Chain A
Amino acid sequence: MELNRLSAHELMGLLDKGDISHVDICNSIIDSIDKKDKSLNAIVNFDKGKVLERANAQKGLPVFIKDNICVKDELTTCSSNILKGFRPPYNATVIEKLLNRNAILMGKTNMDEFAFGSSTETSCYGTTKNPWDLERIPGGSSGGSAACVAADEAIWALGSDTGGSVRQPAGLCGVVGLKPTYGRVSRYGLIAFASSLDQIGTLTKDTEDAAILLKIISGHDPMDSTSVDRPVPDYAKLIKKDIKGLKLGIPKEYFIEGMDKEVKQSVLDAIKKLESLGAACENISLPHTEYAVAVYYLVATAEASSNLARFDGVQYGLRSSQAKGVIDMHKKTRGEGFGDEAKRRIILGAFALSSGYYDAYYLRALKVRTLIKKDFEDAFKKYDAIITPTSPTPAFKIGEKTEDPLTMYLCDIFTISANLAGIPGVSMPCGFTKSNLPVGLQILGKAFDEETILRIAYNYEQGTEWSKRKPGI
């Protein structure tokens, strides 16, 4: 039996019966990485010896971590040259929570530099490949986490989602990607991109695993004042209830002209399936959707330009050796250390915040954000969840969009609004194109109602075979 191909809850069952050991699972993962990761490049920091040591000491499941989440004494670089060699002196809260459950930390996964991207192409370690087609991108920014779970190089993984960075790669790689409500999971130790939007999320092989992992990482943390003190339900138990009588909204703004026909058809078929399972689906409107990308790329870059000020060559990471004086050192360090997309976003954000432009760009964007949030509040008065495609197209070719940042930004058109409104969303496979590329279905829910969206996902998954398909790699 190839243990690496199983889900976490299946493995837990086998472990309970005593049929297998934790070391067996780790060995099976290591074999899979040895075989596949040269072609995938999903994993950026992996020490076989250390992993086996941990597997012998700890009786838990192996987990991979996106490279922007701090793990004590382990390389944590946000896939950026400016953080090369950085080893955090402390663990992120999610890491502490995983270790409390004896999780075996396997290593770090590739990502777009500082999570700036939708394709994992901006990584200083090079692009991760999509396991379904090695000439295509896996999505991003958590492309490494999504690809390693899809290719069975991992049982499950953590990612982070600022504008779709868990859901979009999950959709394009055919796995389940969950972005929890803003405040559900502590951000302490997640290297900040846009603090009002960032949230740590999960990449798993099925919905039950998403429910289990969410419960492990959720909860209030005194180290993150934006984490919310609310009880954490037993998601894995609650999602198994049927979905008869649930009211689902289908927003017309998410079925746009120019979207891929096969993607559209798969999502429409999924909606029919949900109706056959007893949900009532109705067409709705989220009228300010067309402004989401514009709002996001002002708000997110403004916050990023401020958050990334800390990478100045003083306390950690790269320091330019060419500099004269301290200001020149900052400029040269940042000029040498940041990649193109990071530079573009810092400049765009600093521009939107700068004197003379603040009102016209940043403040206006925050005001339109109010309308986007209100669209969802209005819809959720009547509906239990909202169903959309995760992305307008399946995975695109490597290099196709790197020269035109705006077309890259538009990939996130369906995922961004959830972050602006702070609501939870999950992406799961709902079909495949003729060329065998996965299509993602997105389910958005009320704030702190992960339970309902996972319940819909679980019921859909039980009634279909999509989640069981594996790439040929």
Chain B
Amino acid sequence: MSINKDTVKYTAALGRIELSEKEIEHFTGQLDKILDYVHKLKKVDVSKLAPTSHVLEMKNVYRDDKVKPSLPVDEVMKNAPARERNLFKVGKIIE
């Protein structure tokens, strides 16, 4: 067993996803099977390998530090589920 229900619950909480008991049950079995499959990577000797996080051989990409026109605030806010003045409105953060 590579993953159990508690780990799925914990990881879903890290990812801020609410799951039903049924979903937890269902996903645990499926994810366990997937992790069993990826364990084939254990066969590879990785001790001398550098990781590839990106394929392009580029380092830092700089641009001039100049102010350019940006999107109007109203355009940016128009998809907001709730808005107050120029702010995204959400529920209570501090109890």
Residue of B nearest to A349 (CB): B15
User: CB < 8 Å: which of B38, B52, B58 contacts A373?
Assistant: B52
Bound CA–CA A316/B80 (angstroms): 5
**Shortest Cβ gap from B55 to chain A (Å):** 3
**Shortest Cβ gap from B37 to chain A (Å):** 6
Q: Is the CB of A347 within 8 A of B8?
A: yes
Q: A89-B71, A298-B41, A305-B15 are in contact. List 8 more A-B contacts (CB 8 A).
A: A182-B55, A196-B55, A315-B88, A329-B90, A350-B11, A354-B14, A409-B34, A420-B55
Q: Is A297 an interface residue (CB 8 A)?
A: yes
**B residues apposed to A, CB below 8 Å:** 3, 7-8, 11-19, 23, 27, 30-31, 33-35, 37-38, 40-42, 44, 46, 49-56, 58, 61, 63, 71, 75-76, 78-82, 88, 90-93, 95
Q: Which of B38, B44, B46, B88 has the most CB of A within 10 A?
A: B38
Q: Which residues of B contact A313 (CB under 8 A)?
A: 81, 90
Bound CA–CA A351/B2 (angstroms): 11
Bound CA–CA A330/B81 (angstroms): 13
Q: Is the CB of B11 within 8 A of A354?
A: yes
**Shortest Cβ gap from B20 to chain A (Å):** 8
Q: Is A325 an interface residue (CB 8 A)?
A: yes
Within 202-243 of A, Cβ neighbours of B (below 8 Å) are at: 222, 225-226, 228
A-B contact pairs, 9 of them (CB 8 A): A293-B37, A294-B38, A314-B80, A314-B88, A317-B79, A324-B92, A334-B18, A347-B11, A447-B55
Q: Is the CB of B54 within 8 A of A335?
A: no
User: CB < 8 Å: which of A182, A334, A348, A366 contacts B51?
Assistant: A366
**A residues apposed to B, CB below 8 Å:** 85-87, 89-90, 182-183, 196, 222, 225-226, 228, 288, 290-291, 293-295, 297-298, 305, 309, 312-319, 323-332, 334-335, 338, 340, 343-344, 346-351, 354, 361, 363-371, 373, 404-406, 409, 420-422, 447
Q: Which residues of B contact A316 (CB under 8 A)?
A: 79-81
User: CB < 8 Å: which of A295, A314, A325, A422 contacts B41?
Assistant: A295
Q: Is the CB of A334 within 8 A of B17?
A: yes
**Shortest Cβ gap from A81 to chain B (Å):** 14
Q: Is the CB of A347 within 8 A of B18?
A: no
Q: A347-B31, A367-B50 are in contact. Are A315 and B41 (CB under 8 A)?
A: no
Give the dominant DSSP class at A's interface: helix
**Shortest Cβ gap from A410 to chain B (Å):** 9
Q: Which residues of B contact A338 (CB under 8 A)?
A: 17
Q: Which residues of A contact B49 (CB under 8 A)?
A: 367-368, 370-371
Q: Is the CB of A90 within 8 A of B71?
A: yes
**Shortest Cβ gap from B36 to chain A (Å):** 9
Q: A338-B17, A343-B17 are in contact. Are A364 and B79 (CB under 8 A)?
A: no
Bound CA–CA A363/B14 (angstroms): 19
Bound CA–CA A62/B12 (angstroms): 42
Q: Is the CB of A343 within 8 A of B23?
A: yes
Q: Is the CB of A324 within 8 A of B91?
A: yes
**Shortest Cβ gap from B34 to chain A (Å):** 5
Q: Which of B12, B54, B81 has the most CB of A within 10 A?
A: B81
Bound CA–CA A404/B34 (angstroms): 10
User: CB < 8 Å: which of B17, B27, B63, B80 contacts A331?
Assistant: B17
User: CB < 8 Å: which of A319, A349, A361, A363 contacts B38?
Assistant: A361
**Shortest Cβ gap from B66 to chain A (Å):** 12
Q: Which residues of A contact B19 (CB under 8 A)?
A: 335, 343
Q: Is the CB of A334 within 8 A of B52?
A: no
User: CB < 8 Å: which of B44, B91, B92 contacts A371?
Assistant: B44
Q: Is the CB of A346 within 8 A of B37?
A: no
Q: Is the CB of A315 within 8 A of B80?
A: yes
